[in-house]
Amino acid sequence: MCDTCGCNVTPGNVKFAYKPVEPGATTISVLQGLLKKNDDQADHNRAHFDARGILTVNLMSSPGSGKTALLEATIKALKSEFRIAVIEGDLETENDAERIRAQGVPAHQIVTGTACHLDAHMVHDALHQMDLSGIDLLFVENVGNLVCPASFDLGQHANVALLSTTEGDDKPAKYPVMFRGADAVVISKTDLLAVLDDFSPDKAERHIRELANPAPVLRLSARKGEGMEAWFAWLRGQLASQRARVAAGQTQRPTIQPEGALMHGARATEAA
Amino acid sequence: MHELSVAQALVDQVEDLARQHGATGVHLIRVRIGPLAGVVAELLGTAFPLAAAGGRAEFARLEWVEAPIRVRCRTCGAETEAQANKLVCGACGDWQTEVVSGDELILETVELDIPERIEG
């Protein structure tokens, strides 16, 4: 996007671009995203992944919905098929990275201290401390939080939001920004459905559709191994698409980023 | 509260603009925030003075415009208002819509105090 020639002025926002100037002040029309520095860094990270043919998937959910357990089961099943690496984000502890390393794949822990989300700069710093040569699939496990992580592009190609059966099937209606931006939604801990009488996966799916999100909704239990094949198939499909894009010199941003649809309608797929 | 991170990013951006234009101060910053951007305007307003302290934007007034949520239906083509957690078409009820407004997080304008250059 260009902030000098006015090409970011669209029919929708032109009326905000020009306004009368108060005496003594000069008005500058900017019309760029508030998170421009983060977004530039995210684009840089994405170029880094694309240059190495890596598919990067950002996992987001509330704390305790089973992101790490899903990764453990995924690595166990797919590590002979793909080379996998993981970036973990937590406020404190190295626990999750240790769980991933125990599966025999490289993991880097980002300790955010007090920050409630990962941003593109944190991920960039982590990338510099990792050996990504030969990696096919990089997972970023975001800080457990259904609010803040949704607003920051990290350079990933796809967003996955998890919703565990113990959380309530109306979470997508309560946290629309997060679930609207998911390229796939995983309903986790389905083995508990037998003892929960108040969670309806169909209702959860309906709330996701009401966010105008056509993403696949994958019902699974990582602990019991139920429904995992559909998740693996989704990952294989995403990796195949990423390889095709890389071969064609293209990239992909996650389906929706804040401010995306209006400002960057044409940027969904473009030359890297 | 990620609004502080957003406020810091906003201040960085405004200070860059002020520097580029040789401004000594910033009067006004106007942003446009949609409910689907995931940023609460009031919290951004609270975080802004903390992020701006000591810089060129320190005394700037932060104004925000809340963008309404509007969706265009892919099925019937109608453009209607919608709610953040119900982005369905207001005309035919179909969920296959696209958001045409309401997810913006945009710095629209800044008013800078640029001293006149004294010739010679």
Domain A38-252, classified CATH 3.40.50.300, yes or no: yes
Mean pLDDT of A24-48: 89
| Residues of B with Cβ-Cβ distance to A16 under 8 angstroms | 30, 32, 65, 108-109
* Residue A164 confidence (pLDDT): 98
Domain ranges (residues) in chain A: 1-32, 38-252
Q: For residue A259, which amino acid is it?
A: E
Check CB contact under 8 Å for A117 and B100: no
The vertex-A258 CA angle with A255 and A260, nearest 5°, equals 60
Evaluate if residue A21 carries a pLDDT over 80: no
Q: What is the pLDDT of residues A142-194, one digit of tens each?
A: 999 999 999 899 999 999 999 999 999 999 999 999 999 999 999 999 999 99
Q: What is the pLDDT of residues A57-85, one digit of tens each?
A: 999 999 999 999 999 999 999 999 999 99
Evaluate if residue A9 carries a pLDDT over 70: no
Task: Give dist(CA A219, CA A252) in Å, integer.
Answer: 25
| Residues of B with Cβ-Cβ distance to A263 under 8 angstroms | 104, 106
Strand order in the sheet with A26-33: A26-33, B105-113, B25-33, B61-66
Q: Which of the pair, A263 or A238, is modelled with greater confidence? A: A238
Mean pLDDT of B53-63: 95
* Residue B72 confidence (pLDDT): 96
C-beta of residue A110 within 8 angstroms of C-beta of residue A118: yes
Check CB contact under 8 Å for B86 and A210: yes
Closest CB from A148, A210, A261 relative to B103: A261
Closest CB from B5, B97, B103 relative to A119: B5
Check CB contact under 8 Å for B98 and A261: yes
* Residue B35 confidence (pLDDT): 93
Check CB contact under 8 Å for B84 and A214: no
Evaluate if residue B69 carries a pLDDT over 60: yes
Evaluate if residue A120 carries a pLDDT over 90: yes
Task: Give dist(CA A46, CA A269) in Å, integer.
Answer: 12
* Residue A195 confidence (pLDDT): 95
Both tokens of B65, joined, read: 């415009």
* Residue A256 confidence (pLDDT): 60
ipTM of the complex: 0.79
C-beta of residue A35 within 8 angstroms of C-beta of residue B9: yes
Q: Three-class SS string for A227-269?
A: CHHHHHHHHHHHHHHHHHHHHCCEEECCCCCCCHHHHCHHHCE
DSSP state of A149: G
Evaluate if residue A4 carries a pLDDT over 50: no
* Residue B114 confidence (pLDDT): 87
Compute the 3-state secondary structure of chain A and give helix, strand, coil in percent, each to the nearest 5: 35, 20, 45
Evaluate if residue B76 carries a pLDDT over 70: yes
Q: How far apart are the first and last CA of chain B?
A: 51
Decide: residue B86, CB within 10 A, 0-12 exposed, 13-18 middle, 19+ buried.
middle
C-beta of residue A54 within 8 angstroms of C-beta of residue A250: no
Whether A177 contacts chain B with CB within 8 A: yes
Portion 16-35 of A in contact with B at CB < 8 A: 16-17, 19, 21-22, 24-35
Evaluate if residue A18 carries a pLDDT over 50: no
Check CB contact under 8 Å for B112 and A28: yes
* Residue A261 confidence (pLDDT): 36
Tell me what percent of the residues of chain A surpass a pLDDT of 90: 77
Portion 56-75 of B in contact with A at CB < 8 A: 65, 71
Check CB contact under 8 Å for A209 and B108: no
Arch. (CATH architecture) of B3-67+102-113:
2-Layer Sandwich (3.30)
* Residue A254 confidence (pLDDT): 85
The per-residue DSSP string of B51-97 comes to HHTTSTTTTPEEEEEEPPPEEEETTT--EEE-BTTB---TTT--S-E
Half-sphere exposure of A171 (CA within 13 A, CB side): 24
Query: What length does chain A have?
Result: 272
